[in-house]
A and B are shown apart, each in its own frame.
Chain A
Amino acid sequence: MTRVLINGSTGMLSVRAAQLLSQQHEVIVLGRRPPAGPIGHADWLVARLDRKQMLELLRVEQIETVIHLDLLGFDGPLPDHETTVQHNVIGTMELLGACRAAGVRQIIVRSHGWIYGASPLNPLLITEDRPIKTNHSRGLLRTLGEVEQIVADFAARHPHITVTVLRYAPLLNQDGPVMTYLRSPSPQMLFGFDPMIQLLHVDDAACAMVAAVNQPAGGAFNLAPEQPMPLSQVIRRLGKQPAPAMGPLFDNQPPPGWPFEVDYLRYRCTIDPQRACRLLGWTAKYDMAAALDTLKPLSPEDEYAAGTRALNEFLNRRRRVE
């Protein structure tokens, strides 16, 4: 039983992680909005805390593990750059400082699998020892490179604190940037290119978080399904047809609706989850096809079957509680 604080309540990852972790641990979810779904036995606090208040919370609750999910851009639209820097970079620094002062033993920070940058020189599957790209020019990755550097520096100076960075492949999360792109009626791809991409189901992402709490191994972990898929195939499996965009070939500007650098539509940035498999015992339960199928609208028969299954599970759980 560990006392865990999940910092950040927006997004399904926070909800699913709280739900799973609260089965074995004492969990508090901190955020500016109430959680978006049921969080099991976890408790929650709706507030925006400053440095001192955060330190007080960590001390009084004797938090051992802090999970840092409160980064703008993962679970919603990205505000202007200044706000993002203030929130992501400065917010992370403040949190790390509070953790150090409060004697937190483990810090888990969420990051992105595309932090390595898309490049024709990328190996087919990137391992964690490849240096990350710090000069991203667009979107959520622009501040994330800095956040990762700050976290890495902190980890190097404080060897007694286990610092884990979870580099997730883009999540199939309703509000994530890649999902927003995929939800458009015909997502634009770059003419003549079809990069392989990985998409991770939120449940798998939450399971990795539980594994990271239970087996405190430091360092970065790539988390992705092992088998990537061409982007065009992803779009087709969602029942749409990709639209080719020619413009980016000339001006190098991403097509509308694509929240990252245009290179991610051109080259692959696929990551190798072997380290997580070895040290955390984690593998993605949903392969890409299965994960994408969960987004499809169900046929009436499937809906009925899923309804029966969910009802039985719910009733069983209620019976156990009583």
Chain B
Amino acid sequence: MNDEPVTPPTSDPGEPRRPRRGRARAVAVEMEVEPPPTGAPNHHAAPTDPVEPPPTGAPNDHTAPADPVDPPPVATALEWDESPPTRRSAEQLFEVEIDIRQQSEQQPGPQAALGNFAAGVVRLIGENLQRMTNEQVERVNSMLQGVDLRDYLDPDFWKGIGMVLRYQIDEQINFIQRRQRGEYTTDPFGMDREIIEVARPFLSFMYHTWWRVQASGLEHVPAEGRALLVANHSGVLPWDGAMIATAVVNDHPAQNERIVRSLHLHWFTTLPVIAPTLAALGQVPGIPENAIRLLERDELVCVFPEGLKGVGKLFKDRYKLARFGRGGFVQAALRTQAPIVPVAVVGAEEIYPMFANAEGIAKLLGFPYFPLTPFFPWFGLLGVIPLPTRWSITFCPPIDTTRYGPDAADDPITVLELSEQVRETIQETINQKLAERTSVF
């Protein structure tokens, strides 16, 4: 076993972040440019001042939007005209959106407003496209065949857009009706990909905007095949599992949107509403048989061996890893010969600073712990809003279990040694990340 620091090379804080693709960029754009969709269609109002801030990607040397020189509108539109792509994915639509915004900046008032509205509509279509099946995307593409999406002054543009919007609304209604008829599929564990798609924008928001998560070492997570992610647990409510899953979906180099199956405390199975939600999102009760079964299905499984001792940790004990259970996770990894990827989460400890555990109330309610934070329970449900700390998630190099063989699972010495090795790796990485951190927020 190596005792050298196991920090991956990419965790250098000075290194610029790898540019995110697709969904990630789309979110960034949305945060900064948001035209009021209701006011926009009223383009006779002629807004004299450019109300919208410059788009992110827009270089500022596109000057002189102030003097309306009345440029020939169609001619400028043509300047953006490349050959219209036959298959428009959501990402292409987002590019079109940025282009339209840039273009509309140089237009006189009413046309700028129209351009902004057009950009908003294109973005809406793009976001809807992300949730569609390939077949539906094909339908949309056939509707937009021959329509130049950058030329928003052309009536054909609006005709095409109108058709697509109506189709998408129909599809949304169909989606709800289909769910009502029970025509959807789940995996044997209850995971429902359609629900995950619905939850994804919210989780992405928490990931990018709320906690500004910095993920590094994602190349250590295999793009396919089984693997066991082992992470430190913290933060009263299990947000860390959701963020690890979001990191893999958004930032993994393979971009194949692998779903991380977290094992949660089986106590959550006894809670109404929460139990079916967790199941639909792909989380599984933390029972050794379940871990083995998932790994045998070549899934990416995430466990928090600290369990209750980690998630219900007091603020004063933050970033001190508790005991790693009895090494059950190592046994599961050895039995299925899955590599173990230690994961260090920094930032989640401070989202609910729990200064005391009201054990009496907890016992009364049948909860494993009842947190007292500066905001909960004093502010009621508002106290459940987590603090917007800055997070970092570090995926460490995988530990190979094949050199031990599956029978090593029955050898307590190997199991406990490996468990300790994983724990030390995570603790060291946490310490290192904490030293690098300048501010909690």
Residues of A within 8 A of B (CB): 120-125, 190-194, 196, 226-230, 232-239, 241, 249, 266-267, 270
Contacts and interface: CB of A to CB of B under 8 A. Distances in A.
A192 B182 contact: no
Interface string B178-193: 0111111011111000
A192 B190 contact: no
A196 B269 CA distance: 12
B181 A192 contact: no
6 contacts: A196-B279, A228-B188, A233-B186, A237-B183, A239-B181, A266-B275
Interface of B: 179-184, 186-190, 266-267, 269-276, 279, 284-285, 287, 289-290, 293
Nearest to B184: A233
Contacts of B180: 236, 241
Nearest to A239: B181
Given A123-B287, A124-B289, A236-B181, A229 B276 contact: no
A23 B377 CA distance: 69
Given A192-B276, A193-B275, A249-B272, A124 B182 contact: no
Contact of A237 (B182, B189, B293): B182
B232 to A, nearest CB: 24
B290 A193 contact: no
Given A235-B182, A237-B183, A125 B188 contact: yes
A194 B276 contact: yes
B276 A123 contact: no
B233 to A, nearest CB: 19
Contacts of B273: 192
Contacts of A267: 269-270
A190 B273 CA distance: 10
A192 B293 contact: no
Contacts of A239: 181
Nearest to B178: A236
A124 B293 contact: yes
Contacts of B188: 124-125, 196, 226-228, 270
B270 A230 contact: no
- In the A-B complex, list the 4 residue pairs whose CB atoms are closest, starting with the nearest: A192-B272, A236-B182, A123-B289, A237-B182
A121 B276 CA distance: 15
A185 B179 CA distance: 19
B272 A120 contact: no
B298 to A, nearest CB: 16
Given A124-B285, A227-B187, A270-B188, 19 more contacts: A121-B287, A122-B287, A124-B284, A124-B289, A125-B188, A190-B272, A193-B272, A193-B276, A194-B276, A194-B279, A227-B188, A229-B186, A233-B184, A233-B186, A236-B180, A237-B183, A241-B180, A266-B275, A267-B270
A124 B189 contact: yes
B178 to A, nearest CB: 10
Nearest to B265: A120
Contacts of A233: 182, 184, 186
Nearest to A244: B272
Contact of A120 (B189, B190, B269, B284): B269
Nearest to A249: B272
B186 to A, nearest CB: 6
A241 B181 CA distance: 9
Contacts of B285: 120-121, 124
A222 B2 CA distance: 46
Given A125-B188, A236-B181, A120 B270 contact: yes
B266 A196 contact: no
A124 B272 contact: no
B289 A120 contact: no
A233 B285 CA distance: 21
A234 B293 contact: no
Contacts of B276: 192-194, 230
Contact of B272 (A191, A229, A237): A191
A124 B189 CA distance: 7
A249 B184 CA distance: 28
Of listed B183, B272, B287, B293, residue having the most chain A CB within 10 A: B272
Nearest to B186: A230
B181 A237 contact: yes
Contacts of B189: 124, 196
Nearest to B273: A192
Contact of A125 (B182, B271, B272, B293): B293
Nearest to B180: A236
A123 B293 contact: yes
Nearest to A190: B272
A267 B287 CA distance: 14
Contacts of A125: 188, 293
A203 B287 CA distance: 34
A206 to B, nearest CB: 24
Contacts of A270: 188
Contacts of B187: 227
A237 B181 CA distance: 5
B267 A120 contact: yes
A153 B38 CA distance: 75
A120 B266 contact: yes
A274 to B, nearest CB: 11
A249 to B, nearest CB: 6
A88 to B, nearest CB: 31
Nearest to A196: B190
B145 to A, nearest CB: 35
Contacts of A193: 272, 275-276
B253 to A, nearest CB: 31
B193 to A, nearest CB: 14
B157 to A, nearest CB: 40
Nearest to A126: B289
A229 B188 CA distance: 7
A45 B348 CA distance: 71
Contacts of A120: 266-267, 269-270, 285
A120 to B, nearest CB: 4
Contacts of B184: 233
A205 to B, nearest CB: 20
Contacts of A234: 182
Nearest to A241: B180
A266 to B, nearest CB: 8
A11 to B, nearest CB: 27
Contacts of A190: 272
A185 B181 CA distance: 15
Contacts of B279: 194, 196
A236 B184 CA distance: 10
A124 to B, nearest CB: 5
B66 to A, nearest CB: 58
B12 to A, nearest CB: 41
B428 to A, nearest CB: 34
